[in-house]
Copies of this chain bind each other. A is one copy, B any other.
Amino acid sequence: MKRNTWQREAVRGALDANDGFVSAQALHSALHATGSPIGLATVYRALADLAVKGDADSLQSPEGESLYRACSTNLHHHHLICRNCGLTVEIEADAVERWAKDVAAQNGFTQAAHVVDVFGLCAACTAKAAASA
């Protein structure tokens, strides 16, 4: 049985307050900035739990860090992520789903899972980069 603690609520709240993908450490810093004394290990545990329960999506940044996000739907979908500010657009593509399943089956693979993410610079960050260049 899972207990309700202010720590778990704080993590969920911080996730909800962020619209992009964030790392455990970034979330911990954000919480500390608001005065919360929550421990880093607890943030990691809470995020892992949320991901397992399906209440949060997680992915690895190109640099290998685990990022989390409270998504609007718990249906399977993918993401278009700004590598500068973390802004995220949820995308779904049945064609890609079918393709992934088919390519695995055609090669005799079972228990197939896929990683499909698109990283780029969002419009705002693109404009900012152009201005400072």
A interface with B by C-beta (< 8 Å): 60, 62, 64, 66, 80, 82, 89, 91, 93, 95-96, 99-100, 103-104, 107-123, 126
Contact = CB atoms under 8 A, between A and B. Distances in A.
18 contacts: A60-B64, A62-B115, A64-B66, A80-B104, A80-B107, A93-B99, A96-B99, A104-B120, A108-B126, A109-B126, A110-B120, A110-B121, A111-B126, A112-B120, A113-B119, A114-B116, A114-B118, A115-B119
A112 B118 contact: yes
Q: What is the count of identical protomers in the complex?
A: 2
Main SS class of interface, A: strand
Given A95-B99, A114-B116, 8 more contacts: A60-B64, A64-B66, A80-B107, A96-B96, A104-B120, A110-B120, A113-B118, A115-B115
